[in-house]
Amino acid sequence: STGVVKMQPKAEELKFVTKNDGYVHIHPSSVNYQTRHFESPYLVYHEKIKTSRVFIRDCSMVSVYPLVLLGGGQVHMQLQKGEFVISLDDGWIKFVAASHQVAELVKELRCELDQLLQDKIKNPSMDLCVCPRGSRIIGMIVKLVTTQ
What are the residue boundaries of the structural domains of the chain, listed by start? 11-62, 65-146
Q: Give dist(CA 59, CA 20) in Å, integer.
A: 17
What integer pLDDT is reported at residue 75 of this predicted model?
87
The mean pLDDT of 91-104, rounded to a whole number, is 88
Per-residue confidence at 60, pLDDT binned at 50, 70, 90? very high
**Averaged pLDDT score across all residues of the chain:** 88
The pLDDT assigned to 41 comes to: 87
pLDDT at 4: 67
Element (H, E) at 72: none
Residue pLDDT, tens place only, 39-59: 888 999 999 999 999 999 999
pLDDT of residue 5: 66
Look at residues 53, 8, 1 and name the one whose alpha carbon lies nearest to residue 28.
53
Specify the pLDDT at position 36. 82
Percent of the chain with pLDDT over 90: 41
Length of the chain: 148
